[in-house]
């Protein structure tokens, strides 16, 4: 199953790259049913001004509409980053069969890193989880995105400092 996982994860990475280009946190995913991609999505939190517009949530809606069912029992989701608690919870509620992700999320991951919602025995459904598929490529997108954000933030701070200094000079300060 390794090669097919890489092929599907490559499709999720294409979605993450779309998010990157749109200045969204670069997370992408696809949902597969009977070896066919039935849903694709990437983060759209900024565009939609919606904190729930994670790639997984958008793909879930698309997949359930495609199958005309609230259950995704025989589906697998391929996502570039370990799902957060919101997304992992929604995937449990949708009864998805498998989660395959690239990079772990040590700050918010809910498939074993911070929490393990997907394997919680108190819940009515557990999901098989596989991690580390094309991990380097998935994590490098995130690292590049946040590096660019830090550079942009520092440039903005420097510009503001220069403006303040110029205003003080003009006022004789």
Given the residues 15, 24, 56, 82, select the one marked as catalytic: 56
**Residue 39 φ then ψ, to 5°:** -155, 145
Q: d(Cα 173, Cα 165) in Å, to the nearest integer?
A: 9
Q: Do the beta carbons of residue 67 and residue 33 sit within 8 Å?
A: yes
Supply the Cα-derived Rg of the chain in whole angstroms. Answer: 19
Count of beta carbons in the 10 Å neighbourhood of residue 12: 31
56 catalytic? Reply is yes
For residue 9, give every residue at least 6 positions away whose Cβ sits within 8 Å of its Cβ, in sequence order, or none: 78, 80, 100, 102, 133, 134, 138
3-class secondary-structure state, position 21: helix
Of 130, 133, 42, 58, nearest to 94 by C-alpha is: 58
Catalytic residues: 56
């Amino acid at each position: 199953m390794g090669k097919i996982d890489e092929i599907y994860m490559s499709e999720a990475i294409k979605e993450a790259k779309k998010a990157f280009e749109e200045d969204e946190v670069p997370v992408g995913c696809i949902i597969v049913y009977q070896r066919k991609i039935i849903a694709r999505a990437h983060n759209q939190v900024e565009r939609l001004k919606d904190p729930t517009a994670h790639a997984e949530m958008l793909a879930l809606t698309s997949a359930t509409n495609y199958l005309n069912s609230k259950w995704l029992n025989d589906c697998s989701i391929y996502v570039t980053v370990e799902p957060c608690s919101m997304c992992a919870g929604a995937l449990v509620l949708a009864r998805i069969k498998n989660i395959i992700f690239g990079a772990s999320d040590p700050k918010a991951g809910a498939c074993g890193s911070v929490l393990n919602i997907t394997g919680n025995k108190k819940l009515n459904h557990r999901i098989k989880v596989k991690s580390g598929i094309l991990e380097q490529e998935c994590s490098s997108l995130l690292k590049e995105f946040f590096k660019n954000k830090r550079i942009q933030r520092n440039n903005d701070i420097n510009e503001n400092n220069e403006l303040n200094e110029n205003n003080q000079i003009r006022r004789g300060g």
